[in-house]
Amino acid sequence: MPFMQWTEMLAIDGGTVDRQHQALFDAVNAFHDAVAQGQERTAVASALDFLRTYGEQHFADEESALAAMAYPRLDQHRRQHQQFLGQVAVFRAQLLEGGGGLGHSMSQFLGSWLVNHIMVADKAYASFQRGSSGRLKAYDGPSEASA
Ligand SMILES: [Fe+2]
Ligand SMILES: [Fe+2]
């Protein structure tokens, strides 16, 4: 049983965004496992580096999609992404300074941030997109999508 498990409740677009979110869950799980296995500081930090790199890519993709749909809350959304990346950088520095005992609370924070962000902020742009485009996405399920 992985630490973080993506479920359909977190679905945003039934496609690329969901796959990227699943990969972010995998990255948090890899970090969690590295901490739980007591891996060396550098290995734990590099698990965090992967999360940062992949997160930057996902956030950039999402922000350009939001810009393309003229999403009115793009700035707030981008700030949340930046805060997350800032927190990852702080964690990385703490780990390398020897704060290995903080690993569990770090993975808790990263996991719950991700779930909350998807459930609230990402869902908000998904519903804006459905409303503004007038198109129903796979996310809505087959009954509505086929109507
Ligand atoms: Fe987002
Ligand atoms: Fe996202």
Q: Residues 58-94: pLDDT tens digits?
A: 999 999 999 999 999 999 999 999 999 999 999 999 9
Yes or no: say if 106 and 91 are a contact pair by the CB < 8 Å rule: yes
Rounded distance, CA 48 to CA 93, Å? 11
Cα–ligand 2 centroid distance for 17 (angstroms)? 7
**Which structure tokens are listed for 101?**
């005992």
Residue with tokens 């990227």: 20
The pLDDT, as a whole number, for residue 144 is 43
Q: What is the pLDDT of residues 92-101, one digit of tens each?
A: 999 989 866 8
**CA 40 to ligand 1 center in whole angstroms:** 31
* Entry pTM: 0.87
Mean pLDDT value across residues 102-108: 93
Q: At residue 3, does pLDDT exceed 90?
A: yes
Q: 86 CA distance to ligand 1 centroid (A)? A: 15
State in Å: Cα 140 to ligand 2 middle.
18
Structural domain boundaries of the chain?
22-128
- Per-residue pLDDT tens digits for 23-72: 999 999 999 999 999 999 889 999 999 999 999 999 999 999 999 999 99
User: What's the 22 CA to ligand 1 centre distance in angstroms?
Assistant: 13
Calculate mean pLDDT across residues 99-126.
Answer: 94
Ligand 2 mean position, distance from CA 38 (Å): 29
Sign, CA dihedral 136-139-144-147, equals positive
CA 108 to chain CA centroid, Å, is 13
Q: Do residues 50 and 33 lie in contact, with contact meaning Cβ atoms separated by under 8 Å?
A: no
Answer with the residue of higher pLDDT: 109 or 141: 109
Is the pLDDT at 145 greater than 50? The verdict is no
- Around ion ligand 2, which residues have CB less than 5 A away? 122
| CA 98 to centroid of ligand 2, rounded, Å | 31
Q: How far apart are the first and last CA of the chain?
A: 38
Cβ atoms of 55 and 88 within 8 Å: the answer is yes
Q: Collect all residues with Cβ–Cβ distance below 8 Å to 71 and sequence separation of at least 6.
A: 77, 125, 128, 129
Q: Which ligand is nearest to the CA of 17?
A: 2
pLDDT at 133: 63
Q: Which CATH code fits 22-128?
A: 1.20.120.50
